[in-house]
């Protein structure tokens, strides 16, 4: 741009002796014109003659002609100079499609003022941008990170937008290292992108994956200067995801420079096709991939929750491709991280948080609550001592309660939001709909909320209610979409709804049915269009694919109950529920919902209802002649899991065999079921058969190129060998699994394999070697924030050290375990007491003996007399040590 600008300036200056090229360039770079030029460079916006004229007048250069004449000539020369630069026209096309949605013809008309005809470049880029949008991708440039910033303080609750990330609002996370140092998470991600071309960020819901991903996107865009980011957010009724079309979009973007493809929640059946594109560009240094996922989905193996046709497709797609990405896990929220969060909040807002200096208390408040510590922290620090309510409740929970009571229970507050009883009813339904949709991790859109209305008047009322909820429950995002609180917040809101509303299920069903009606009722959609005054992308897609979008929407809604099984009563049973799916999504949606209910019942500890729902789904599918293969696999797998839970191993084997027969052509699912059959055989003591099943499973995963599946199969073979007392073979298998996990960068599995190798060494009578492996496992688990697993390693360390009579090492392991439990803020059952007892056994001083005595009294009070007697014997045996 600079070179072409000088060419144009020199051409104009040559016609005016008193006017130098530098005069024109200085004018363009003046303060008055700088913002316009910067925008032009980034977006390719046309330079208007009037803007140039005003700047030239401000510069007051004496010439033999008017400023208007010079400006007109300058713009014409600029147009000619840029005509040969396709990058400019690509950006013009991109920005026009993004901001207006206009087609190629309208775009061509819009750039006639520049007196050129870059039709081919414009058409190609506009088509690529439109394709990206159809698949849920935003085509981002520098302007997206630098404009649209808000500073109302709500971003700590609703999540940080790209401009807020660029401005440094969120804390840049750090990982504590074993040597006491710390490393910035952003550096880890950028190093992974530079070294291997791809990274996947892993962590639980609410751990900050989205914010960290956006921060890395921002840093990448800043350092590449001319790079393009293709970004697909998580959740929602997204468009179809075609790897071939995404590849075409990448090619179009790559013409401008490097490309970063960023995908949220990439390990789901609707987003996992991105791995086809990852593989296609694995050796291209100009195309990089930044994905994120919940750790449990990335790590998922043969657990009941992951078995099924959709999950099988996910595994098959991931097969052989995990190693293309470097997995990086979200770090734990320790006291130092809280101190940094508080300092960063104060720096950004200019306020001194009330919790400053009390970070240890905050640490205790945000851990062990069943909600992500990072989500709780985002409320606790801004609220400080204004949180109100129960002192023992974190501000996150208090805020949910306050909002719920404002809408439902507090007459004065409700009266400020609703003028009539009907408005109050609509207010409650709007709030419930917002949280249902948000809990399902879908965008909260005006079209959905308007579906709650009975007529045009009520639609206007809902718009007004949305306006009144701005700043508390809703935050305007534009394009008929709202930001709101984190999905975890909405799930807590739904728990309040279930616990405190007498007709909770009826209200939930009414709201869900109203939302689903948008996908089935053309008249309703027409009414929504009329109220909004325009068509929208969501309404257009529903019009084109009503059944498909309805099934996607319903699957997301039922996914809330699967993730939070205590909400299961809202979903009822397939027989009793009033949620009407058959009209909008057909029998497929009904069957999918029944299997979802089956998983909910299984997770909530009700195996009988779990089985009933699976049976009901199978019968409905059979009656409707739905493909019996996928349904049969899911049904028999669920029946097998149910039998395993009840230790009915022969029944489990029968169902797994049927599932295997049906899934014979589905490699990933078949291999998964072989693993289940191997586990049944192991529990029955049939070691030869168990080995055969796991070896067959291993061969299938190797054939598929699924290295994660290969490692897990080797681990299972190690477990079988250990039960046969063949500890050398067990260690060999576990080492082979470790090598694979280390190679593909799965540190959670690495830590688990290190632990198993320690057990193998201990069983082989090599305690020194076992001690070293347990230490390695503990360090890796702690780096990952896996406290429970780190405690297991510390327990084994204490056992082996005691065996070696290294009592100080054993006591140090106990002390480290107790410190870890205290800092985590989690109860871990009786683990703390167990480590205190263990330490007292190792402490042969009078104080240690006295502690044994008191622990014995506590166990006796709890009715655990055998344990109490053992401790008293241990104390009594020391009488000679203590002179009687």
SS3 38: helix
Q: What is the pLDDT of residues 712-722, one digit of tens each?
A: 999 999 999 99
pLDDT at 44 over 70: no
pLDDT band at 451 (very low <50, low <70, confident <90, very high): very high
Question: What is the mean pLDDT of the segment spanning 779-793?
Answer: 85
pLDDT at 190 over 90: yes
Question: What is the mean pLDDT of the segment spanning 721-729?
Answer: 95
Q: Are strands 259-263 and 287-294 parallel, antiparallel or unpaired?
A: parallel
Q: What is the reported pLDDT for 531?
A: 94
Question: Which tokens is 268 given?
Answer: 């789901």
Q: What is the reported pLDDT for 77?
A: 76
DSSP 523-568: HHHHHHHHHHTS--HHHHHHHH-HHHHHHHHHHHHHHHHHHSGGGH
What is the distance between the alpha carbons of residues 556 and 395, in angstroms, rounded to a whole number?
Answer: 28
pLDDT at 233 over 70: yes
Question: What is the mean pLDDT of the segment spanning 829-835?
Answer: 85
Question: What is the mean pLDDT of the segment spanning 231-258?
Answer: 78
pLDDT at 696 over 60: yes
- Domain 140-329 sits in CATH 3.50.50.60: no
Question: What is the mean pLDDT of the segment spanning 774-780?
Answer: 92
Going from N- to C-terminal start, the domains of the chain cover: 2-130, 140-329, 335-408
What is the distance between the alpha carbons of residues 328 and 190, in angstroms, rounded to a whole number?
Answer: 11
Q: What percent of the chain has pLDDT over 70?
A: 81
Question: What mean pLDDT, rounded, does the chain reach?
Answer: 81
Q: What is the reported pLDDT for 753?
A: 94
Closest by CA position to 645, among listed 608, 691, 672: 608
Where is average pLDDT lowest: 19-23, 846-850, 859-863? 19-23
Q: What is the reported pLDDT for 878?
A: 87
Q: What is the reported pLDDT for 304?
A: 34
Range with the largest mean pLDDT of 128-142, 289-303, 714-728: 714-728
Are the C-beta atoms of residues 176 and 332 closer than 8 Å to each other? yes
Q: What is the reported pLDDT for 742?
A: 84
Question: What is the mean pLDDT of the segment spanning 20-42?
Answer: 59
Question: 513: Cβ–Cβ under 8 A, 6 or more apart, which residues?
Answer: 578, 579, 580
pLDDT band at 770 (very low <50, low <70, confident <90, very high): very high
Q: What is the reported pLDDT for 257?
A: 85
Question: 357: Cβ–Cβ under 8 A, 6 or more apart, which residues?
Answer: none
pLDDT at 75 over 80: no
Q: What is the reported pLDDT for 240?
A: 61
Residue whose pair of structure tokens reads 């919940």 in the numeric block? 294
pLDDT at 387 over 60: no
Q: What is the reported pLDDT for 54?
A: 62
DSSP 416-450: HH-SSHHHHHHHHHHHHHHHHHHHTT--EEHHHHH
pLDDT band at 570 (very low <50, low <70, confident <90, very high): very high
Question: 765: Cβ–Cβ under 8 A, 6 or more apart, which residues?
Answer: none
pLDDT at 223 over 60: yes
What is the distance between the alpha carbons of residues 52 and 61, in angstroms, rounded to a whole number?
Answer: 13
Q: What percent of the chain has pLDDT over 90?
A: 33
Q: Which residue has the higher pLDDT, 136 or 699?
A: 699
Q: What is the reported pLDDT for 116?
A: 41
Cα-Cα-Cα-Cα dihedral sign, residues 655, 656, 657, 662: positive
């Amino acid at each position: 741009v600079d070179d072409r600008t000088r060419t144009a300036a020199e051409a104009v200056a040559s016609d005016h002796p008193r006017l130098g090229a530098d005069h024109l360039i200085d004018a363009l770079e003046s303060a008055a014109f700088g913002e316009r030029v910067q925008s032009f460079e980034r977006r390719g916006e046309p330079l208007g003659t009037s803007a140039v004229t005003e700047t030239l007048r401000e510069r007051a250069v004496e010439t033999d002609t008017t400023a208007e004449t010079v400006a007109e000539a300058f713009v014409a020369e600029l147009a000619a100079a840029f005509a040969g630069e396709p990058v400019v026209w690509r950006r013009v096309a991109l920005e026009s499609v993004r901001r207006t949605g206009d087609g190629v013809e309208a775009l061509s008309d819009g750039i006639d003022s520049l007196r050129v005809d870059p039709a081919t470049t414009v058409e190609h880029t506009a088509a690529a941008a439109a394709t990206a949008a159809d698949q849920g991708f935003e085509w981002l440039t520098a302007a997206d990170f630098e404009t649209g910033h808000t500073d109302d303080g709500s971003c700590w609750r609703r999540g940080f937008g790209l401009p807020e990330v660029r401005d440094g609002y969120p804390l840049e996370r750090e990982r504590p290292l074993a040597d006491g140092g710390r490393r910035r998470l952003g550096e880890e991600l950028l190093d992974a992108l530079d070294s291997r071309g791809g990274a996947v960020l892993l962590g639980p819901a609410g751990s900050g994956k989205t914010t960290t991903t956006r921060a890395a996107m921002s840093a990448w865009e800043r350092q590449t200067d001319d790079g393009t980011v293709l970004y697909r957010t998580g959740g929602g009724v997204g468009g179809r995801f075609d790897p071939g079309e995404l590849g075409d979009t990448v090619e179009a973007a790559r013409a401008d420079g490097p490309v970063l493809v960023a995908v949220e929640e990439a390990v789901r059946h609707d987003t996992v096709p991105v791995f086809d594109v990852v593989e296609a560009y694995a050796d291209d240094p100009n195309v990089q991939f930044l994905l994120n996922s919940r750790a449990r989905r990335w790590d998922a193996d043969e657990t009941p929750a992951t078995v099924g046709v959709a999950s099988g497709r996910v595994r098959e797609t991931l097969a052989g491709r995990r190693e293309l990405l470097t997995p990086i896990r979200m770090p734990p929220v320790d006291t130092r991280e809280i101190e940094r969060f508080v300092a960063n909040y104060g720096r950004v807002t200019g306020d001194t948080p009330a919790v400053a200096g009390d970070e240890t208390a905050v640490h205790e408040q945000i851990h062990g609550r069943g909600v992500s510590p990072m989500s709780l922290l985002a409320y606790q620090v801004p609220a400080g001592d204004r949180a109100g309510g129960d002192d023992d409740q974190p501000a996150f929970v208090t805020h949910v309660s306050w909002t719920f009571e404002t809408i439902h229970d507090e007459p004065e507050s409700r009266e400020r939001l609703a003028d009539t009883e009907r408005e109050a009813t609509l207010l409650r339904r709007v709030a419930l709909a917002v949280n249902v949709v948000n809990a399902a991790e879908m965008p909260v859109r005006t079209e959905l909320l308007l579906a709650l209305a009975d007529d045009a008047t009520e639609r206007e009322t809902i718009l007004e209610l949305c306006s009144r909820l701005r700043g508390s429950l809703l935050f305007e995002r534009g394009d008929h979409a709202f930001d709101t609180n984190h999905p975890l917040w909405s799930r807590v809101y739904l728990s309040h709804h279930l616990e405190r509303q007498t007709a909770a299920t009826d209200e939930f069903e009414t709201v869900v049915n109203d939302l689903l009606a948008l996908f089935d009722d053309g008249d309703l959609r027409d009414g929504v269009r009329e109220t909004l005054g325009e068509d929208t992308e969501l309404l257009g897609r529903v019009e084109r694919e009503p059944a498909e979008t309805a099934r996607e929407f319903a699957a997301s809604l039922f996914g809330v109950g699967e993730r939070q099984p205590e909400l299961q009563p809202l979903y009822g049973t397939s027989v009793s529920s009033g949620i009407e799916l058959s009209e909008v999504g057909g029998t497929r949606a009904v069957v999918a919902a029944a299997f979802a209910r089956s998983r909910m019942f299984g997770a909530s500890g009700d195996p009988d209802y779990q089985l009933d729902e699976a049976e009901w789904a199978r019968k409905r599918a059979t009656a409707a002649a739905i493909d019996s293969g996928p349904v049969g696999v899911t049904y028999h797998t669920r029946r097998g899991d149910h039998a395993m839970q009840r230790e009915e191993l022969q029944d489990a084997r029968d169902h797994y065999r049927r599932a295997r027969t049906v899934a014979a052509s589905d490699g990933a699912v078949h291999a998964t079921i072989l693993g289940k059959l191997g586990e049944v055989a192991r529990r029955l003591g049939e070691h030869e058969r168990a080995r055969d099943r796991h070896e067959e499973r291993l061969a299938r995963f190797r054939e598929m190129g699924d290295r994660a599946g290969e490692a897990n199969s080797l681990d299972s073979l190690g477990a079988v060998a250990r039960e046969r007392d063949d500890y050398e073979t067990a260690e060999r298998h576990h080492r082979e699994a470790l090598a694979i996990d280390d190679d593909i960068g799965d540190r959670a599995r690495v830590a688990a394999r290190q632990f198993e190798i320690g057990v193998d060494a201990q069983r082989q009578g090599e305690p020194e070697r076992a001690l070293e492996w347990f230490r390695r496992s503990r360090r890796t688990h702690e780096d990952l924030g896996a406290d429970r697993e780190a405690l297991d390693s510390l327990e084994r360390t204490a056992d082996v050290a005691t065996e070696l009579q290294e009592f100080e090492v054993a006591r140090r392991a106990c002390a480290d375990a107790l410190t870890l439990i205290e800092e985590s803020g989690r109860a871990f059952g009786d683990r703390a007491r167990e480590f205190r007892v263990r330490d007292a056994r190792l402490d042969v001083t009078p104080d240690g003996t006295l502690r044994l005595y008191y622990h014995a009294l506590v166990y006796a009070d709890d009715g655990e007399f055998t344990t109490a007697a053992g401790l008293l014997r241990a104390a009594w045996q020391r009488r000679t040590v203590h002179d009687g």
